[in-house]
Amino acid sequence: MKIIMIAGDGIGPEISAATKEVLQAVNTKFKLGLQIEDEIAGHASLKMHGATVTEALLNKVKQVDGLILGPMSTYDFKDEAKGEINPSKFFRKSLDLYANIRPAKTYQGLRSPVSDFDLIVVRENTEGFYADRNMEQGNGEILVTPDVAISLRRITRQCCERIARTAFELAQSRKKHVTIVHKANVLKIADGMFIDICHQVGKEFPEVSIDDFIVDAMAAHLVRAPQKFDVIVTTNMFGDILSDLTAELSGSLGLAASVNAGTHHAMAQAAHGSAPDIANQNIANPYSLILSAAQLLEWYSHRSGKSEFGQAAKAIADVATSLILSKEVTKDIGGHLGTKETGAALAKGLLALD
């Protein structure tokens, strides 16, 4: 398996280094034949190439099996005409990574404000209200006058069908329960279509139960009783917001893993930002990117039919869980280790497996 790793901005280089150490350990343990090549994007690329991300890099990514994208200073990148392109958007759109899969669960030994839960938010990733990716050309936001702005939301049958199928396939291997989240009480046409299509796809999975909630009510239910949910499927913006909520409910946004998956490509990406205020201090939690890399291995296992990659992904998650319990982790989740030491502890735990 060939992987391109982009360290990113802010805390990106630190958590990427920890992630690479973990991948090297699991590569040794499971004989995966991983080949990891470092590349740059974000501020480093802007300085070197005049753009935060380049077509040459995209072409290289298309030739490998997966991409690991470290956190990017997305808010800094405002003018694409000056090469300030959002790398995350660029790869999601260019590689058609339509499914953003964000698991969240509670961990023994880590305090959570809610009851124990284990769920996945399946977020459509290529349309919705996201103005930088929902048009073939141009932008989905228009400034009509200095005092009037319009934002367009795109919802298509194709995107609804494929994100629904992703959710039901995941549920089939879990607790067989899909929850559709929407705002059809006011977005009657677009979200009405989303609900209808999810139910149509659901008929192909008769063992999976289906319910649906309006997004604001869903936020309340997740805080009150997250253990009632299994796989949550929703549109782009709602999924972005709810997955941050579920990550925080699990104990820390530093545990928020995600993979952006398409038919032919996938990108592991921590769900949090570049956190420049704590960069270069060896205190950032690397688990979000490490667990995202594990998801990438799992995706490749299904795509390639090579079970050892799935076994490696499970091993990373299992050792991470045990280290959280023993508090051999960063301070934000109750430990005493730095970023580098946390990665080293996880790598050591993997190499010590029977």
Evaluate whether 101 touches 267 at the Cβ level (below 8 Å).
no
Catalytic residue among 118, 132, 244, 332: 244
Could you confirm whether 240 is annotated as catalytic?
Answer: yes
Catalytic residue among 183, 191, 287, 300: 183
Catalytic residue among 98, 240, 287, 300: 240
Residue 277 phi, psi (nearest 5):
-70, -20
Catalytic residue among 107, 130, 287, 300: 130
Cα dist. 225→15, 245, 276 in Å? 32, 13, 34
Could you confirm whether 196 is annotated as catalytic?
Answer: no
Could you confirm whether 9 is annotated as catalytic?
Answer: no
Could you confirm whether 211 is annotated as catalytic?
Answer: no
Evaluate whether 323 touches 346 at the Cβ level (below 8 Å).
yes
Terminal Cα-to-Cα distance of the chain (whole angstroms) = 24
Cβ contacts of 255 within 8 Å, gap of 6 or more: 104, 107, 247, 285, 287, 288, 291, 333
Q: Biggest alpha carbon distance in the chain?
A: 66
Residue 131 phi, psi (nearest 5):
-65, -20
Cα dist. 193→17, 155, 183, 184, 199 in Å? 44, 8, 11, 9, 10
Q: What gap in Å lies between CA 140 and CA 124, rounded to an integer?
A: 17
Catalytic residue among 38, 116, 211, 216: 216
* 329: amino acid identity, one letter: V
Q: What gap in Å lies between CA 125 and CA 267, rounded to an integer?
A: 12
Could you confirm whether 287 is annotated as catalytic?
Answer: no
Q: Which residues are catalytic?
A: 130, 183, 216, 240, 244
